[in-house]
Structure 1
């Protein structure tokens, strides 16, 4: 700031205008405001006006767009409606702010251009009159026309990205997880840490006892793959998935046992007798049954519940390893679970597990299918792992049993998740062989024909009723199955499933394919794919073995993991560009 003495000195030298000269400048200026004041002021005011108009228009359009996009999948529960309105309010606020800033910036730019050109003509002609104003307006109008181009029909709307339905937090978390899983430098130490946490008996490494460790895991890997630790968290997760557009979920209780080689050998030599029997019932079977029953209650009609027999403890493990019937207590608990599921319209998926117990699981699965599956509906589903060379024979035997017994076979087809523990000689030699087996079995079940790997495995070519779950992260396999479905050639009920936190690019394509029908759940065409997400619930500690298997699965499918990472990265870039109006 100049002092009064300095101003007088400058005026004496003719370098500073007098007060009368300043007053004259204001009188000669448009609106009595010199250009250095008038133009920034008008620019700011025009931005505020544009911001207000754009916010009003943008929020209204965002709300209408949200309602239109979700009209075919309205929630049915209080929690669902809460999440619906919460998500809608977010979209309205985001859309309003985004459109407001864009419109404000556009109006401010053209206002500045008009006033700047007007001031230029004023200075050039030495007078401020209406001619200069009209000339500047016409010039800006011409520039605006050149900028926007000639009148053309509006361009067709770009097809939205399937991943656009996912929340930003999920995109970022998945990108982080897949980046670690696809990195040859980050994955080995991560697997070592996960394995230590899953196998350790130290309280310091137990997430259920170490609050710091629990907080970190729950906000990262647990949130990526699991549903929650209690009923409220699980219901909230399920509601959010159905709000996105998934037909339902496959919900599992996390309690399970993964055997070491030494434990596998012990199973074949040590039975359980005496006081240990009652201890197993009280500390292993009953907690497993309680957790599984609660899982069935958390599921809605039409959902699936995944059931792991190994979670029932030592009695179950021993009986399965010896291909014995379940113990009386375990059989009663399993019957209670099946009856509850049947009464609630929930379907049960008996999960496949390690080869040490898989033959016993197949026996039990078939026995419960005979008991609870009807001629036109499956309550119990078996899981068939396409990476095993013996799977076609096992599946053919179960199909024959269903045909002869007059019940519907429930079949969940997977590639397999125990590469790290199953004997290598039982598994197909190459991934190509596994892919061929999976696609061939899927086609045979969908078309209900003794074809592909099932050809020549049955003299009687009559095929039983089949309800199937096609569980695959392989996009090619999903596309092939969808092609059969969309051509109307599928003769079996089919649901598509992927694990929570994995293969979201595949899952969201299925959701988009279903959403394009624009109808409610009951009105959707039979050719529309039904997409499900498989997720487990339980405490962070209980889920550690499940999380370890997911990490190992990502290691064994690096190329697929990289594809998922690239898809998430592209979606994140798309959203950033969209935020700045560059998409």
Structure 2
């Protein structure tokens, strides 16, 4: 049913049930393959056993790379290099969806790997500057420095001379990335991480915003709304930005480290930083949408979410506030291989949408892929939702094929 605002504006309501749009870019063969992958991921015990044996096989250097590349890697990653991602970039671009190249190599903590990561992210910025099909770059601060150093800085502990030098190198790396993004006019995300290092990341991000966000919004920090203090943090930093005269970039997410956060809070006996209930998180997420839209002269946002209600809520609030779907200050983002019903239907309706496209050597991105498998198993209804939507589309296509020519 149309709202009065929708009727007045002629805007059609968005249906995240429209599978013909959601899976238009996928062939029947690819869709059937995706269907069976999600069917398997829907079985928690199988994900657990499969993850265990893949880890063993990789440790023993057994020849399973081809199997991984043809299944879970193909579903959730663009390739091993930026060049490998070009087909995915173009497929998304055809559907008016941008790409966020996400170099997802993890677990290498030494100065050479940090410098190599900087060079790779610089390459994503250069690729993004060449066309409009890559609207954002992204990096994790833990890809540029050790977690131990970030935690020590956050705790205000005294740094050794060697640690102080390492921290200065981190600041130089961060500045190098943000400066290049500014020079190439490419937006760049600081990804969020665990609460015990997030204050250090926040501090670096706001320092970069004050340096590069005065005339346009280039640098974005990520706000995890499953933390009970994040909404107030967002409001406070907006006022700081207003007073200092720079623009605030805010990527809104719910959060990805809930089990790890709660376990550590329990073990070290400090207040759990996570909301007690999912309803509290959902409330704060939507209140953050309200706040950002109402302060859009100073705040640019990207909703990094697979939550259909929050996406619909943002669309509704944009309509009520008279904000055009293609407003350059408002973006939606989902992960490659997930929630195509949200991404493709929003893009089809004229909203700004981008997909995170992880890439890197198969062995190095396995931690990311294990999280996707676990996430799809553990998020209430997520893999079931994907599975059922794909099933509906396969049935729809079968019905079209069987229909008379004048009805197909």
TM-score range, shorter chain: 0.7 to 0.9
Distance 1:430 1:492, change over 3 A: farther
Counterpart of 2:14 in structure 1 is none
Deviation at 1:556, TM superposition (A): 2.6
Counterpart of 1:293 in structure 2 is 122
Deviation at 1:405, TM superposition (A): 0.9
Report the secondary structure of 1:443's partner residue.
helix
Q: Distance in 2 between matches of 1:492 and 1:402?
A: 19
Report the secondary structure of 2:303's partner residue.
strand
Deviation at 1:534, TM superposition (A): 0.8
Counterparts of residues 169-568 of structure 1 (less than 5 Å): 169-193=29-53, 196=55, 202-204=59-61, 210=62, 212-246=63-97, 248-257=98-107, 280-281=110-111, 283-300=112-129, 301-302=131-132, 303-314=135-146, 317-323=148-154, 327-375=167-215, 377-423=216-262, 425-448=272-295, 465-490=298-323, 493-514=329-350, 529-568=351-390
Deviation at 1:445, TM superposition (A): 0.8
Task: Give ranges in structure 2 of 5+ residues lacking alignment.
Answer: 1-17, 157-163, 264-271
Task: Give ranges in structure 1 of 5+ residues lacking alignment.
Answer: 1-158, 205-209, 259-278, 449-462, 515-528
Q: Is the Cα–Cα contact under 8 Å of residues 23 and 340 in structure 2 kept in the other structure?
A: no
Report the secondary structure of 1:378's partner residue.
coil
Q: Is the Cα–Cα contact under 8 Å of residues 473 and 503 in structure 1 kept in the other structure?
A: yes
Q: Is the Cα–Cα contact under 8 Å of residues 104 and 359 in structure 2 kept in the other structure?
A: yes
Q: Distance in 2 between matches of 1:535 and 1:469?
A: 16
Q: Distance in 2 between matches of 1:393 and 1:163?
A: 35
**CA radius of gyration, larger in:** 1
Report the secondary structure of 1:423's partner residue.
helix
Q: Is the Cα–Cα contact under 8 Å of residues 415 and 434 in structure 1 kept in the other structure?
A: yes
Q: Is the Cα–Cα contact under 8 Å of residues 104 and 364 in structure 2 kept in the other structure?
A: yes
**As a proportion of its length, which structure holds more helix?**
1
Counterpart of 1:12 in structure 2 is none
Q: Distance in 1 between matches of 2:43 and 2:246?
A: 47
Q: Is the Cα–Cα contact under 8 Å of residues 343 and 353 in structure 2 kept in the other structure?
A: yes
Distance 1:309 1:173, change over 3 A: farther
Deviation at 1:255, TM superposition (A): 2.2
Q: Is the Cα–Cα contact under 8 Å of residues 225 and 547 in structure 1 kept in the other structure?
A: yes
What root-mean-square deviation, in Å, do the aligned CA atoms of Structure 1 and Structure 2 show?
2.5
Report the secondary structure of 1:422's partner residue.
helix
Q: Is the Cα–Cα contact under 8 Å of residues 226 and 500 in structure 1 kept in the other structure?
A: yes
Q: Is the Cα–Cα contact under 8 Å of residues 163 and 508 in structure 1 kept in the other structure?
A: yes
Higher relative contact order (CA 8 A, sep 6+): 2
Report the secondary structure of 2:260's partner residue.
coil
Q: Is the Cα–Cα contact under 8 Å of residues 328 and 352 in structure 2 kept in the other structure?
A: no
Give CA-to-partner distance per residue, 1:210-261, whole Å, 9 cap, x none.
5x31111111111111111123212222111111221x11221112349xxx
Give CA-to-partner distance per residue, 1:377-406, whole Å, 9 cap, x none.
211100011111121232123212211111
For this pair of structures, how many residues does the alignment match? 364
Report the secondary structure of 2:106's partner residue.
coil
Distance 1:426 1:328, change over 3 A: closer
- Alignment TM-score, normalising by the size of structure 2: 0.82
Q: Is the Cα–Cα contact under 8 Å of residues 182 and 558 in structure 1 kept in the other structure?
A: no
Deviation at 1:160, TM superposition (A): 7.8
Confirm whether residue 166 of structure 1 aligns to residue 25 of structure 2.
yes
Distance 1:160 1:351, change over 3 A: closer
Distance 1:257 1:446, change over 3 A: farther
Report the secondary structure of 2:275's partner residue.
coil
Give CA-to-partner distance per residue, 1:320-356, whole Å, 9 cap, x none.
4422787232222222211221222211100001223
